[in-house]
Amino acid sequence: MSHPLTTDLARRDLLLLAAGAGLAAMLPLPAWAQAADIKSLKIATIGSGREGGALGTLFAKAGHPVMFSSRHPENLKELVDSAGPNAKAGTVEDAVKFADVVLLVVPYTAVEQIGKENGAELAKKKLVIDVSNPNGRRDGEDFVKKVNDEGGAGLVTAKLLPGAKIVRAFNALGAGKLADNAVKSDKVGVPIAGDDKGAVELAEALIRQIGFEPVLVGGLAMGKHLVPGTPLAGEHSTAELKQIASTLK
């Protein structure tokens, strides 16, 4: 015969479990978990140059429908062909309409205009991965100083794309080695920064899906460290990234 205390505990546990299940059913699931299959998520790149082309190709080869975009989509035929049957090309407007998840991979000076033209639609997306960086050589040192004075790339992107669920990622992993790094058995770490929990979880799942291991460094304010030339830049293991991130503020 079971001990009365054990029986009481078992009944209480069952009640708690039932209450927990009811509560869980009422809690909203993160955006990515609502998708029946993460591979069904449609991914678009705004910017299909070296980095946007390489990242979009990894997602297309991982099974996602991908739309590469350009102001001249007719020039993307070679990229689309090499990315395989899941890939197609369109205008920036087409891509924003098509996507569940947008990769923003443009010169940082273009982000303001993209925000003005597509900000309302981008704010409806499950996730915007901001891969873009201010760069002194390309954009001018005055521009880089202005971005840094305003809090750095993460906070400035959030200001230029109001309401968008932004996660910075892949900012300092070179396009030329992305495909090789994606298949390394010792996973290459990807430092990420974001404020929206659901978007961060979705970004983490997508990053793992293409062969990397995400390391959350902090909120968007930490996005200023996710640019080339900082200690987090380049190829690191997750342990190295965590150690470096622990020294940053």
| Interacting residues toward ligand NAP by CB under 6 A | 46-52, 70-72, 92, 105-108, 110, 113-114, 131-133, 135, 170-172, 174-175
Helix (H/G/I), strand (E/B), else coil: 210: coil
| Residue 89 to residue 73: CA distance in whole angstroms | 6
CB of 124 to ligand NAP, least distance (A): 19
- The residue among 63 and 174 lying less far from ligand NAP, judged by its C-beta, is 174
- The residue among 102 and 202 lying less far from ligand NAP, judged by its C-beta, is 102
CA 80 to chain centre: 21
CB of 173 to ligand NAP, least distance (A): 6
Q: Which two tokens stand for residue 48?
A: 């299909």
Is residue 202 within 8 Å of 30, Cβ to Cβ? yes
- The residue among 47 and 65 lying less far from ligand NAP, judged by its C-beta, is 47
| Residue 160 to residue 170: CA distance in whole angstroms | 20
- The residue among 175 and 205 lying less far from ligand NAP, judged by its C-beta, is 175
CB of 90 to ligand NAP, least distance (A): 11
CB of 216 to ligand NAP, least distance (A): 18
Nearest to 188 by CA among 208, 167, 216, 203: 208
- The residue among 39 and 135 lying less far from ligand NAP, judged by its C-beta, is 135
Give residue number: closest CB to ligand NAP: 49
Q: Which two tokens stand for residue 23?
A: 């509560």
Which amino acid, 119? G
Helix (H/G/I), strand (E/B), else coil: 176: helix
CB of 234 to ligand NAP, least distance (A): 11
